[in-house]
Amino acid sequence: AQRVTQPEKLLSVFKGAPVELKCNYSYSGSPELFWYVQYSRQRLQLLLRHISRESIKGFTADLNKGETSFHLKKPFAQEEDSAMYYCALWGAQKLVFGQGTRLTINP
């Protein structure tokens, strides 16, 4: 069975500081991993996926199969990054989400 764990429910950092949102997964197959973001009063939207290896809004995430992790990072946080972030894993025709991390950027 696939499982995604986000150990931090809440994360608060100051503007300009680095951000790292943790995500660990368990899955017997080859994982397809994603980060989704939900800004206040908006629907969930895809932030990035590991297969594309792209940087979106300054965020990057590297898949570490040895540590079964897919942490989301940004070197300099901005106030508009405040949102709910979900790590997700695709397998067996469905997407399984972690519990989410609420990121707050303080001015």
Q: Is 39 in the site for other proteins (CB under 8 A)?
A: no
Judged by CB under 8 A, the stretch of 19-27, 60-68, 71-79, 94-102 that binds other proteins is: 94-102
Stretch that binds other proteins, among 13-21, 54-62, 75-83, 92-100 (CB under 8 A): 92-100
**Binding of other proteins by 40 (CB under 8 A):** no
Nearest to 73 by CA among 58, 89, 83: 58
What beta strand segments (E) does the chain contain? Answer: 3-5, 10-14, 19-21, 24-26, 32-38, 45-49, 60-61, 72-74, 83-91, 94-97, 101-106
In the complex, the residues that contact other proteins under the rule CB under 8 A are: 6, 9, 32, 34, 36, 43-46, 49, 86, 90, 93-100
